[in-house]
Amino acid sequence: MPKANEILVRVHAATVTRGDVALRKLPVLLARLFGFKRKSMLGHEFAGEVAAVGAAVTRYSKGEDVFGTTTGLTTGAYAEYICVPADGVLATMPTNIAYEEAAPIPVGGMTALHFLRKGDIARGKKVLVYGASGSVGTFAVQLAVHFGARVTGVCSTSNVGLVKSLGADEVVDYTQQDFTDAGQTYDIVFDAVGKGSPKRSKSVLTEGGAYVSIRSSTKEKREDLLFLGDLLATGEVKAVIDRRYPLEQIPDAHRYVEKGHKRGNVVINVEE
């Protein structure tokens, strides 16, 4: 049952992120050393229906659809029901969006938005997204297009069509060409997978340009989730879904994500 300031969410969809895989593999002693809170279950983002509200909650009502994160909580989203703080990183879902479309937005979408803003995204700027076919990368391409930037995506051969479909002006197939040899410079280089070389990336930055990477920490904000929800509702941003798994096949979903080749997002359908 939810506490006074909590809501009880009947989870319909969650995801498997690279962060979930990393946290699962993190040794207990190392987690304690760096101050990480280990979760009783994994799952950092969710979409579902409010099943009950605490006595002090006024923002949400029973039956309302919501999406958000469990970041910083000891509970996770791989469950039929979870209790989360009503003042957490949580928002009402757009009415025209399915649960599985909303669930990948909070982590991947907010991460992409955070780093693009950190790089001072603006209309007319040239942005390179390294790892443009992953969860953060697919959102980064769409958001950069929304902000009026000229976007170059870097991905493998099999994902070139996907990245182009998201609005990228140019796509570099890293199996055929190194983006640093293309003779182009960029105002923002965004390493969306944490595997890029900072030294090589900075070599193609314009004077005063910004290099940003998911290796740095982020801060989740509810207002960012609201912003993304509006873009989701209008179709300017969408979640790319690679695979879907039922709740009982989460181990298989983790094995797939751990291979490092997913396109966009892997969704867990908790409640059909």
> What is the identity of the amino acid at 188?
I
Asked if residue 78 has pLDDT above 60, the reply is: yes
Place of tokens 């409010």: 50
Question: Lowest mean pLDDT: which of 58-62, 100-104, 199-203?
Answer: 199-203
Contacts of 86 (CB under 8 A, 6+ apart): 5, 6, 7, 53, 54, 56, 57, 59, 60
Query: 3-class SS at 105?
Result: helix
**Residue 53 binned pLDDT confidence (cut-offs 50, 70, 90):** very high
**Cβ proximity of 246 and 266 under 8 Å:** no
**Cβ proximity of 121 and 259 under 8 Å:** no
**Residue 50 binned pLDDT confidence (cut-offs 50, 70, 90):** very high
DSSP code string of 108-154:
IIHHHHHHHHHTT--TT-EEEEETTTBHHHHHHHHHHHHTT-EEEEE
Domains and CATH numbers, the chain: 6-104+239-269 (3.90.180.10), 108-213 (3.40.50.720)
Interval 121-167: pLDDT, tens: 999 999 999 999 999 999 999 999 999 999 999 999 999 999 999 99
Pairwise CA distance, residues 182 & 172, whole Å: 9
Pairwise CA distance, residues 243 & 265, whole Å: 7
Interval 113-128: pLDDT, tens: 999 999 999 999 999 9
Nearest to 16 by CA among 48, 49, 46: 46
Interval 167-196: pLDDT, tens: 999 999 999 998 988 789 999 999 999 988
- pTM here? 0.94
Strand partners, 256: none
